[in-house]
Every structure is written in structure tokens, then in C-alpha cells.
């Protein structure tokens, strides 16, 4: 392994890492040498990896993002890496969307990211240390999907927030980048990849250039790269990880 890709001596907090993409990101960081603090909505799962510290918080609560960061620093004072991965989908059809669902989307998918990164950056700036932040957006931040208006808007906002934070934090030695997964096999897409609608899976596989749905591990490599010294001259970028889903206009027959 090239030293530039090593995370030895580093410490990271990964939000939304009890399962799915977040857990794969945490495992990728750990395998690259980092100490990792994981986070989930509920208490630590019984079979959770022993190598990870774990903190439960409902990040939709206003004070929770800063409290989570504070708890993570208490566990790992040398924390220098933050991956904001927590988020979910609460949409219904646009004409049936409620303010409650909109606020739930904004609070978790957008506000929690903003205030977690702020709390993290304040600590690093106070200690005069550099670091890096990676924000998980989505291909929905670039292309719209039916009945996903609030989710699409939240993920598009994260793409711009990544750029804006990169501008705000560059002088403090903190890099900010993002990953935008496409169709990944996670609990959020379980109804699709478990074969409830084989025709829909076939439809997407024809549209995806690499002809398959992604696995959570497919996202981890890009995130580890962005956190590593190999990406030391990259900030403000979002890497789309979708097997080519958003590249081709038509797809196969």
C-alpha cells in the first residue's frame, strides 16, 4: 500500500455508520489504519465491530450534531477526519408532501451536516490543526427522481455546501470533499435489490454502464482516498460513484 493512501495515526467520526454505506465507510477507514468513532440513531448493535467506538444520537434534534461531535472528541481527542453520511428519505408524491416531512428531511439531511461540520471545524481551528471532511450526497443531487423533491433538494444542497465549506475552511487547512453514490445495495434500497421488482432491477442495470447495482464497499474506496494524503491537493469536489448511471443518456436496450 502506498503511504500516500494510508490513514495510520488518523482518527475519524463517521455519522450514520451503523449499517449500509456508512458502515462500509467506517470499515474502509479502519482497514486503512484510522481509529474510528461510529454513530447511529439507536444504541450500539450487539454484533457491531469491536474495533469501533460507537455513539448514538438522533441528529434531527437541533443540538444533536454539536453534541455528537463533542462526544466523539471525548473518545478520540485527536479526531481530524469527519464523514457526514447520516441521512434518509421521507418523501411522498409532491402534491401530498407535508411541512413535517419537509422539515424532517431538511433537519437530518442538511442542517445536521452543516452544524456537525461547524462544530468539528471550530475544534480544529481552536487547536490550530488541519483535517478533512467528506460529505455523502447522492446522484439525486445532480439528477431528479420522481416523488423525491425534498430528498433531491437536500442532496443538491450538500453538493453546494461541500464547495462552500471548502472555500470557508481552506485557510484553516481543512479540506472538504464529497461522494455521491448512485444505486447502492443498502437498507434504503432493499425493496429494489431484494428482487421485489426484478423488472426494475433489470431496467437500472441496463442504464448503469457497469451493468450492476453498487455495493456499499464501492463507495468506501473513494472516501478513503479523499481522506488520505493522496488527495491533499483536492478540495471542493464531489466524486460521483454510480457505475456510470448518470453518464449515459439513454442506456442499453
Show the 3-state SS of the chain. Answer: CCHHHCCCCCEEEECCCCCHHHHHHHHHHHHCCCEEEEEECCCCCCCCCCCCEEEECCCCCCCHHHHHHHHHHHHCCCCCEEEECCCCCCCCCHHHCCHHHHHHHHHHHHHHHHHHHHHHHHHHHHCCCCEEEEEECCHHHCCCCCCCHHHHHHHHHHHHHHHHHHHHHHHHCEEEEEEEECCECCHHHHHHHCCCCHHHHHHHHHHCCCCCCECHHHHHHHHHHHHCHHHCCCCCCEEEECCCCCCCCCCCC
Note if 233 is an active site residue. Answer: no
Taking every pair of Cα atoms in the chain, the longest distance, rounded to a whole number of angstroms, is 56
Nine-digit cell string for 42:
439507536
**Residues noted as catalytic:** 151
Amino acid at each position: 500500500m502506498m503511504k500516500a493512501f494510508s490513514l495510520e495515526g488518523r482518527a475519524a467520526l463517521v455519522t450514520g455508520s451503523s449499517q449500509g454505506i456508512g458502515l462500509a465507510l467506517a470499515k474502509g477507514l479502519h482497514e486503512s489504519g484510522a481509529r474510528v468513532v461510529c454513530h447511529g440513531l439507536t444504541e450500539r448493535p450487539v454484533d457491531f465491530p469491536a474495533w469501533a467506538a460507537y455513539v448514538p444520537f438522533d441528529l434531527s434534534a437541533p443540538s444533536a450534531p454539536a453534541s455528537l461531535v463533542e462526544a466523539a472528541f471525548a473518545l478520540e481527542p485527536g479526531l481530524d477526519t469527519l464523514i457526514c453520511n447520516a441521512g434518509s428519505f421521507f418523501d411522498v408524491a409532491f402534491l401530498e408532501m407535508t411541512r413535517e416531512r419537509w422539515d424532517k428531511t431538511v433537519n437530518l439531511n442538511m442542517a445536521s451536516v452543516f452544524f456537525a461540520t461547524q462544530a468539528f471545524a471550530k475544534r480544529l481551528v481552536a487547536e490550530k490543526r488541519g483535517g478533512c471532511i467528506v460529505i455523502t450526497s447522492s446522484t439525486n443531487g445532480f439528477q431528479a427522481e420522481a416523488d423525491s423533491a425534498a430528498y433531491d433538494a437536500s442532496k443538491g444542497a450538500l453538493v453546494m455546501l461541500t464547495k462552500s465549506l471548502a472555500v470557508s475552511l481552506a485557510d484553516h487547512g481543512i479540506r472538504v470533499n464529497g461522494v455521491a453514490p448512485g444505486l447502492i445495495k443498502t437498507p434504503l434500497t432493499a425493496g429494489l435489490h431484494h428482487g421485489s421488482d426484478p423488472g426494475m432491477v433489470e431496467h437500472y442495470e441496463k442504464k448503469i454502464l457497469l451493468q450492476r447495482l453498487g455495493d456499499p464497499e464501492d463507495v468506501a474506496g473513494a472516501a478513503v482516498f479523499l481522506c488520505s494524503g493522496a488527495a491533499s491537493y483536492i478540495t471542493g469536489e464531489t466524486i460521483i460513484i454510480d457505475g456510470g448511471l448518470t453518464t449515459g443518456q439513454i442506456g442499453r436496450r
